Chains A and B, each alone.
Chain A
Amino acid sequence: MIETIENGIQLVTTGICTAVALRKGILLQSRAWIMLTLASGVFFLGDLYWELFLILYGKTPEYSYIPYLSWYAAYLFLLLLLYDLRDKNDERHRSRILWIIPVFTVGMCIFYLQWGDWVGNIISALLMCLLIWNAGEGLLSIRAQKADHPETKCKKVWIYILVLLFCLEEYGAWTASCFWTDVTLMNPYSWFDIMLSAMFLLFPAALGKAVDG
């Protein structure tokens, strides 16, 4: 029951995000907005597939390739969104601190391999690593620009922070599901899942700030 409600909440938030981003994408003919539409839209479809399976068959899919594929696609669209946000004359700030990210994602991947499948874990780790790397690099670049030119406006800072939080919540949910298997509100997985759902309501505002000024 709790899982159905959680999925329902996520369906609503991803649906709202998709509708808002689609409207903006069509009105402004902006690729960044279309990327957000596709990211939240494919997440919505994956959730819908999962939810329909739960409601109509009373169980989760036996082979969950389709919903997982849709969630990986959502990460990929978010990554493409971050690439799209890069200015051509943007100087990317590379720092050694960024190398913590692959160490973290590979470490977590090895940890999750105790429960999950090889292919899925490796794809997740790769996409998460690229997402966190890009968002982290973006934040470091903004900080460097701000140090050089204090009058610079940091329009993209919120979208980078949101992407980082999104990844953090995904990791939180995955880690919680390794230790807590009961489907109750006391399970931290539910908290992370609800926070993840809330992220989709914040993405349009953050992207609007980054793109529309």
Chain B
Amino acid sequence: MNYIENIFVCLAAPLLIALICTQGKGKRMMIFLLSGMAACLLSSYISTFIAAAQGVELLTASLEISPLVEETMKLFPILFYLLIFEPHKRDIADSCLMTAIGFATFENVCYLLQNGADRILYLLIRGFGTGAMHVVCAFIMAAGILRLWDRVWLRAAGTLALLAVAITYHGVYNILVSQTGTLALIGYLIPLFTTVITLIFRKAVFGKDVVKEKAPF
């Protein structure tokens, strides 16, 4: 039995303290990291509830229900931020990314507790693969929100459609990693490959005003 709410408390406590101590952008990033973890916790509850209500097996739930629930839950903190605070474009991209990273971190910790931490090579591939997959899904949403539509109603329709892209991408990833051997490896490598491609073309994807010309360090 995995007490994920206890894990959440353990992980969230130091971040909450950091939240009190930090200011400005750091504080905002911390909030989104925490929001991502909370979204993961809630997704787990909702997916489990739907699976139980429909009488579905664990594998079917992870392939057909989880991607839908997880991507939708991950979008809520961003939507809240967008609608209430009307932030600057660059802050939207960062907040999407931090939510995804928080989500992936919490998911990886839960996976470790459930399956053990003895296979370092597999965990390395899985860690990077899952992290990259959530980051790619966040990229998809961020790029759409930032670049594609000016009018509010077009942006709303477009965001819904982009959510479907993220859900399907996540679904394909889950199918591949549910296999063993080469197929699973391909599944883990696809998001890594997509992340690298996105980073190469990030100026074209996010726009010049979002990507800084020079790195801050």
Contacts and interface: CB of A to CB of B under 8 A. Distances in A.
B160 A83 contact: no
A202 interface: no
Contacts of B65: 63, 65
Given A26-B201, A76-B160, A38 B165 contact: yes
Interface string B1-45: 000000000000000000000000000000000000000000000
Contact of B204 (A29, A72, A83): A29
A52 B56 CA distance: 20
Interface stretch (A39-47, A107-115, A147-155): A39-47
B165 A41 contact: yes
Contacts of B154: 80, 83
B169 interface: yes
Contact of B161 (A66, A76, A83): A76
B110 to A, nearest CB: 22
B64 interface: yes
Contacts of A61: 63-64
Nearest to B187: A52
A65 B71 CA distance: 14
A192 interface: no
Nearest to A64: B64
A80 B161 contact: yes
Q: Which interface residue of B158, B160, B164 has the most chain A CB atoms within 10 A?
A: B164
Given A34-B148, A61-B64, A76-B160, A70 B165 contact: yes
Contacts of A80: 149, 154, 157-158, 161
A76 B149 CA distance: 14
A70 B166 CA distance: 9
A92 to B, nearest CB: 17
A61 B60 CA distance: 9
Contact of A45 (B64, B165, B183): B165
A67 interface: yes
Contacts of A52: 172, 175-176
Interface in A71-127: 72-73, 76-77, 79-80, 83
B167 interface: yes
30 contacts: A29-B204, A31-B148, A38-B162, A42-B164, A45-B165, A45-B168, A45-B169, A49-B168, A49-B171, A49-B172, A52-B175, A53-B175, A56-B175, A56-B179, A56-B183, A61-B63, A62-B56, A63-B54, A63-B60, A63-B65, A64-B64, A66-B67, A66-B68, A67-B168, A70-B168, A72-B164, A76-B160, A77-B158, A77-B161, A80-B149
Given A49-B172, A52-B172, 6 more contacts: A38-B165, A56-B183, A65-B68, A67-B168, A73-B160, A80-B161
* Interchain residue pairs A-B with the least CB separation, the first 4: A73-B164, A45-B168, A70-B168, A73-B161
Interface of A: 26, 29, 31, 34-35, 38, 41-42, 45-46, 48-49, 52-53, 56, 61-67, 69-70, 72-73, 76-77, 79-80, 83
